[in-house]
Structure 1
Amino acid sequence: MTNTPNAIMLFAAGFGTRMGALTRDRPKPLIEVEGVALVDHALALAKDIAPASIVVNTHYHADQMARHLEPQGVTLSQEHPDILDTGGGLRAALPLLGDGPVFTMNTDAIWSGPNPLRLLSAAWDPAQMDALLMCVPTASALDHAGPGDFTMDPKGRLNRGPGLVYGGAQIIKTEGLAEIPELAFSLNRLWDAMERNGRLFGLSYPGTWCDVGHPGGIRTAEALLGGDHV
């Protein structure tokens, strides 16, 4: 089994309820920011690192997602009849992703700065890490409410607490998924075990990040990409 990640999972199955009427008839990943679908912003970052495979999970309006993504050479992992959350969704997609650690990325954020996947790849140390999360200081996390998800010690280890927002991109080892009995579950279950073992690590993103999980985030993200935010 290789310890170098060479596959990426993009999470795109959710209902997007915070988007209100915008997701009544379409999935959130197809909402556009500066004329480009959110999922395509994420795909551009994924393709930049040239992984062996790119997998996208789908559930809500899966037919629309398939029409949009299949021409782009992306492999789909359809969750049916029930949505599986991040942990269950990643586990269901493992036959498509292969062995070893994988990148994962959410599709409801815009990154302004270096490709976070490249930064993660350069810092990945499988000897001491079971997961490496790209985190954003709250001052650089636009349109995100709350004090943050993690604190980071001088060696890069993460613990739960305020200060850093998880930006939705990571490298993670997947072996622990087999130990969780539930069909649908969050990756927080895996992170909690890694944190207890001192093997949950983070990077602080040097650019700016915008949460596009709600309608106001669209305007903020477009202003960010247009250079209106420092």
Structure 2
Amino acid sequence: MPDAVMLFAAGFGTRMGALTARCPKPLIPVAGRPLLDHALDLTQGVPRRVVNAHYLAPRIAEHLAGRDVTVMVEEPQILDTGGGLRAALPHLGPDPVFTLNTDAVWSGPNPLDLLAAAWDPARMDALLLCVPLERATGRKGGGDFTFDPQGRLIRGGDMVYTGAQILATDRLHSVPEAVFSLNVIWTAMAAEGRLFGLPYPGHWADVGHPQGIAEAEAMLARHV
């Protein structure tokens, strides 16, 4: 099981409109608690926890003050998921890590526990937790992936990436750009047959847009 987790909290939250004018998206409350705290609940027991920040970074740092969490501020520019993860490696270490988006809530088994139980580094460079579209509350648009019979991921289909994964980080060092998405890494892994997926058996809600807040709260109320 990885001993480090990266929680992505640096984004601008532009789809949230006025809600993020003075509040970073990870601190928007859902069911009475900030999104970031919902995500942190899932990481209990992971020894090293890193949260990146850029937009309204002092608000996130203040919120996490006194907790056993490292806050890494990306400046002067935001680095996207790949660049942000690479910049955090001095805090995360060289081994495979969990990564977790902070703009979703979950109802069901702990996603990190499921990933750890299924992780096989002999076959995998990444294991992405995915949920079927019919259990992806608040999702706008279609899915991201299809599973092949061995569990490898193929682009396109009705499986939605949840924002939780285990990832081997060595390929990050081969990308020349400072700012890049983890999609670059996934594409290289897929070409070698080392990008895998795992289906999530519970319910998941995307809170990337204003109406997603009420939808997520309704999901949590239905699926305690």
Fold-level similarity (TM above 0.5): yes
1:170-207: CA deviation from partner (whole Å, max 9, x where unpaired): 00000000000000000000000000000000001101
> Aligned partners of 2:220 and 2:67: how far apart in 1?
24
- Matched letter for residue 62 of structure 2: R
> Aligned partners of 2:32 and 2:142: how far apart in 1?
31
Aligned match of 1:210 in 182, 205, 212? 205
| Aligned position for 2:9 | 12
| Aligned position for 2:28 | 31
- Matched letter for residue 18 of structure 1: R
* Structure 1: runs of 5 or more not aligned: none
In the alignment, does 2:192 pair up with 1:160?
no
TM-score (norm 2): 0.98
- Matched letter for residue 141 of structure 1: A
> Aligned partners of 1:145 and 1:82: how far apart in 2?
28
In the alignment, does 2:108 pair up with 1:136?
no
SS of 2:86 mapped into structure 1: helix
Structure 1 window deviating more from structure 2 (185-194 vs 144-153): it is 144-153
How far does residue 147 in structure 1 lie from its aligned partner after superposition? 1.8
How far does residue 39 in structure 1 lie from its aligned partner after superposition? 0.3
Structure 1 window deviating more from structure 2 (8-17 vs 158-167): it is 158-167
In the alignment, does 2:54 pair up with 1:71?
no
- Matched letter for residue 22 of structure 1: L
| Aligned position for 1:187 | 182
- Cα RMSD (Å): 1.0
Q: Count matched residues.
A: 224
Superposed, 1:55-204 pairs within 5 Å as 55-204=50-199
Q: Does the 8 Å contact 2:94/2:170 carry over to 1?
A: no
- Matched letter for residue 40 of structure 1: D
How far does residue 163 in structure 1 lie from its aligned partner after superposition? 1.3
In the alignment, does 2:43 pair up with 1:46?
yes
- Matched letter for residue 59 of structure 2: Q
- Matched letter for residue 168 of structure 2: K
SS of 1:226 mapped into structure 2: helix
How far does residue 105 in structure 1 lie from its aligned partner after superposition? 0.2
